[in-house]
Amino acid sequence: MENMIALTIDGVSVEVPAGTSVLEAARKAGIHIPTLCYLKDINEIGACRMCVVDAGGRNLQAACVLPAANGMVVKTNTPAIKQYRKVLLELVLSAHDKKCLSCVRSQNCELQKLCRDLGVEDGDAFKGATNEYKVDDVSPSIVRDNNKCILCRRCVAVCSKIQHVGVIGPVMRGFKTAIESPWQMHLNDMACINCGQCINVCPVGALHEKDDTAKVWAALSDPTKHVVVQPAPAVRAALGEEFGLPMGTSVTGKMATALKRLGFDKVFDTDFGADLTIMEEANELVERIASGGTLPMITSCSPGWIKFCETYYPDFLPNLSSCKSPHEMLGAMAKSYYAKKAGIDPKDIVTVSVMPCTAKKFEAARPELGHDGLADVDIVITTRELAHMIKEAGINFNLLPDSDFDSLMGESTGAAVIFGATGGVMEAALRTAYETLTGSELKDVNFTAVRGVEGIKEATVRIGDTDVNVAVASSTGMAAKLLDSVRAGEKNYAFIEVMACPGGCVNGGGQPIVDADTRAVVDVRAERAKALYGEDMNKPLRKSHENAEIKAIYSDFLGKPGSHVAHELLHTHYTKRPLYNK
């Protein structure tokens, strides 16, 4: 039984387990203490001092690192505390680039909200020297603007603790302290995996994705270009949040309508690409198992994970599936199969992917991902960027009617939509691999053992007369832990799914920003995943190989999974990467 303690916060009695912080105890009591650097379970360092409380000692103390004690009496909102917090905010603002109207995080900025809540109106209360930094915008995915950085260290914590990458950290001391890469190198020259988890946790506009919406607008306005768009599975589970809809609302039909109204010539669905990926990936897994190929086979859908493997675990490169990711497969099909069907020169087709992921911007530029001198995907924008385009176009998203994706590459199954949640690729592949290996119908398609937001999930799946050991890793930090156990001979699997982002694509670096207060009480990963599993349950077909458009593309064009044509267009290779570019 847990050892419980009782304390009083602002006159409210609350009982919590021993070891609970005063901040968490206050939350249980329904009392809000403002924070800025705090990020539950990730960054609990008391650096910003915004959460100070009076616990009866000589000095105010940071509630996020102050253990609750039995009989403690805490005050959170005295005149002295309020004044202390206002001065802190004014000091932060004194070194902050206050171009709020043009900031990418305007109206969704935790610093801005705190100033509003605490009545801080004067950003120049402490005028003085400021540091000026050159914006690091060399990366194809992530822009770093230290002029807006408030030194909260959230980005440092998530990059190091969760992703096990650690390419940014504090340098210098005192007033000169800055969050930088070693030797002040560009982020693009470091072993950054472009996952964008740092963007997701930044409370201000110091980190954001490279904005490629101007490229999309230019393509749409070019009469010589035929512009094809495809949204990823996870986008439909989160886009609604940008328009005030509850987290976990599926907006598939409205999203398709919005894309058509923006002027895209064809609106296909990355879910079709996911079904296509399963056809190739399941075939590859079956062949490896049957022929004694390299096992465990590891999924290759997540570009952040691929770059992590190339950089930190190159000995596992032979284990990676050779399949391109779903949006790259659909891009390749748009410039071959669709181009042929529509009688369009592939050079005149512009493929645009709407992704929950900033690493997809890096992926699209990889020279390995193209054919006949053309990139499979020309432009990648994030969920946030699509929302910005919809707002810029004056489209009232919430009033849009539902519509369907365009035919040829718009049909999908339930197996495809769950790609956006951790464990989804594994489950989708098993649904097809089972029927391929056994030749019999899979009655229950729900492989619930690989569902959930745990960092590592393991299962043994019975396929015919064979037990197949599988595992799922969510975040590159968890992938590192899992691969270390495989490398040491402690674990033995046939198939591993890895997603770079915790929870999978639903929590990707390009998804709508969720503030720290909400993250502390709502599991963003689980809420968004519900939308995808709900779509899966409601789909008439739930196995990739049952998709009629998938059957047609093999019959008309590809031949069969793993064919020569399929390998030419749908498969790729990976190469060891250095830790930094000199």
CATH of the domain at 62: 3.10.20.740
Q: Are residues 515 and 463 in the same domain?
A: yes
Pull the structure tokens for residue 55.
């616990």
Peptide bond into 367 cis (omega under 30): no
Residue from 301, 309, 323, 501 carrying the catalytic annotation: 301
Q: Are strands 379-382 and 73-74 parallel, antiparallel or unpaired?
A: unpaired
Q: Are residues 282 and 199 in the same domain?
A: no
For residue 25, is pLDDT > 90?
Answer: yes
Cβ-proximal residues to 59 (8 Å cutoff; 6+ apart), any chain: none
Known catalytic residue: 505? Answer: yes
Q: Is residue 575 part of a domain?
A: no
**With bands split at pLDDT 50, 70 and 90, how would you rate the model's confidence at 582?**
low
Over range 232-248, report the average pLDDT. Answer: 98
Q: Is residue 502 part of a domain?
A: yes
Q: Is residue 534 part of a domain?
A: yes
Q: Are residues 231 and 204 in the same domain?
A: no
Query: Which CATH number fits the domain that encloses residue 110?
Result: 3.30.70.20
Q: Are residues 32 and 55 in the same domain?
A: yes
**With bands split at pLDDT 50, 70 and 90, how would you rate the model's confidence at 581?**
confident
pLDDT value of position 149: 98
Pull the structure tokens for residue 153.
């260290």
Known catalytic residue: 99? Answer: no
Residue from 110, 180, 284, 497 carrying the catalytic annotation: 284
Q: Are strands 142-144 and 207-209 parallel, antiparallel or unpaired?
A: antiparallel
For residue 104, is pLDDT > 70?
Answer: yes
In 3D, which of 280, 414, 267 has the Cα closest to residue 352? Answer: 267
Known catalytic residue: 284? Answer: yes
Q: Are residues 406 and 315 in the same domain?
A: yes
What is the rounded distance in angstroms from the CA atom of residue 474 to the CA atom of residue 350? Answer: 32
pLDDT value of position 504: 97
Known catalytic residue: 323? Answer: no
Residue from 148, 266, 360, 361 carrying the catalytic annotation: 360
Of 159, 182, 209, the last residue of a domain is 209
82-95 tens-digit pLDDT: 999 999 999 999 99
- 3-state SS string for 9-26: ECCEEEEEECCCEHHHHH
Q: Is residue 55 part of a domain?
A: yes
For residue 158, give the amino acid letter. Answer: V
CB of 95 closer than 8 Å to CB of 125: no
179-238 tens-digit pLDDT: 999 888 999 999 999 999 999 999 999 999 999 999 999 999 999 999 999 999 999 999
Q: Is residue 500 part of a domain?
A: yes
Point out which residues pair with 469 in neighbouring strands. Answer: 460
Query: Which CATH number fits the domain that encloses residue 413?
Result: 3.40.50.1780
User: Which is it for the CA torsion 200, 536, 415, 262, positive or negative?
Assistant: negative
For residue 580, is pLDDT > 70?
Answer: yes
In 3D, which of 112, 122, 46 has the Cα closest to residue 91? Answer: 122
pLDDT value of position 324: 98
pLDDT value of position 1: 55
Known catalytic residue: 281? Answer: yes
What is the rounded distance in angstroms from the CA atom of residue 320 to the CA atom of residue 331? Answer: 21
For residue 494, give the amino acid letter. Answer: A
Known catalytic residue: 287? Answer: no
In 3D, which of 160, 161, 182, 178 has the Cα closest to residue 170? Answer: 178
431-457 tens-digit pLDDT: 999 999 899 999 999 999 999 999 999
Residue from 99, 106, 221, 368 carrying the catalytic annotation: 368
What is the rounded distance in angstroms from the CA atom of residue 574 to the CA atom of residue 146? Answer: 33
Domains of the chain: total? 3
Cβ-proximal residues to 363 (8 Å cutoff; 6+ apart), any chain: 303, 306, 325, 328, 369, 377, 380
CB of 550 closer than 8 Å to CB of 544: yes
Q: Sheet containing 349-355: which strands, arranged edge to edge? A: 266-267, 226-231, 349-355, 379-382
Q: Is residue 582 part of a domain?
A: no
Q: Are residues 191 and 273 in the same domain?
A: no
Known catalytic residue: 357? Answer: no
Q: Are residues 33 and 101 in the same domain?
A: no
Query: Exposed (0-12), middle (13-18) or buried (19+): which is 544, by Cβ within 10 Å?
Result: buried
Over range 146-155, report the average pLDDT. Answer: 98
Q: At what angle do helices 270-291 and 326-333 cross, to 10 degrees?
A: 110
Point out which residues pair with 349 in neighbouring strands. Answer: 226
pLDDT value of position 446: 94
Over range 332-355, report the average pLDDT. Answer: 98
Cβ-proximal residues to 242 (8 Å cutoff; 6+ apart), any chain: 383, 384, 387, 397, 512
For residue 322, is pLDDT > 70?
Answer: yes
pLDDT value of position 2: 75
In 3D, which of 222, 199, 326 has the Cα closest to residue 268? Answer: 326
Q: Are residues 172 and 220 in the same domain?
A: no
CB of 482 closer than 8 Å to CB of 496: yes
What is the rounded distance in angstroms from the CA atom of residue 44 to the CA atom of residue 34? Answer: 14
Q: Are residues 253 and 135 in the same domain?
A: no
What is the rounded distance in angstroms from the CA atom of residue 213 to the CA atom of residue 361? Answer: 12
Q: Are residues 400 and 471 in the same domain?
A: yes
Give the helix, strand, coil percentages of the chain, each rounded to 5. Answer: 40, 15, 45
546-558 tens-digit pLDDT: 999 999 999 999 9
What is the rounded distance in angstroms from the CA atom of residue 558 to the CA atom of residue 562? Answer: 9
Q: Are strands 374-375 and 370-371 parallel, antiparallel or unpaired?
A: antiparallel
Pull the structure tokens for residue 513.
């920003």
Quick one: how far is CA 276 from the chain centroid?
22
Over range 106-128, report the average pLDDT. Answer: 93
- pTM (2 decimals)? 0.96
Over range 19-32, report the average pLDDT. Answer: 97
Residue 484's domain spans which residues? 214-570
Q: Is residue 580 part of a domain?
A: no
Q: Is residue 430 part of a domain?
A: yes
Q: Are residues 345 and 230 in the same domain?
A: yes
Please give the residue that has the higher pLDDT: either 124 or 319: 319
pLDDT value of position 124: 87
For residue 7, give the amino acid letter. Answer: L
What is the rounded distance in angstroms from the CA atom of residue 505 to the CA atom of residue 330? Answer: 18
For residue 532, is pLDDT > 80?
Answer: yes
Known catalytic residue: 152? Answer: no
Mean pLDDT of the chain: 96
pLDDT value of position 517: 96
What is the rounded distance in angstroms from the CA atom of residue 339 to the CA atom of residue 121? Answer: 57
Residue from 363, 427, 435, 497 carrying the catalytic annotation: 363
Of 77, 112, 129, the last residue of a domain is 77
What is the rounded distance in angstroms from the CA atom of residue 247 to the CA atom of residue 526? Answer: 10
For residue 57, is pLDDT > 90?
Answer: no
For residue 17, is pLDDT > 90?
Answer: yes
Of 77, 102, 117, the last residue of a domain is 77
Over range 482-496, report the average pLDDT. Answer: 97
Residue from 24, 44, 280, 281 carrying the catalytic annotation: 281
The DSSP call for residue 555 is I
Q: Are residues 190 and 42 in the same domain?
A: no
Q: Would you mind telling me the total number of residues written for the chain in this entry?
A: 582
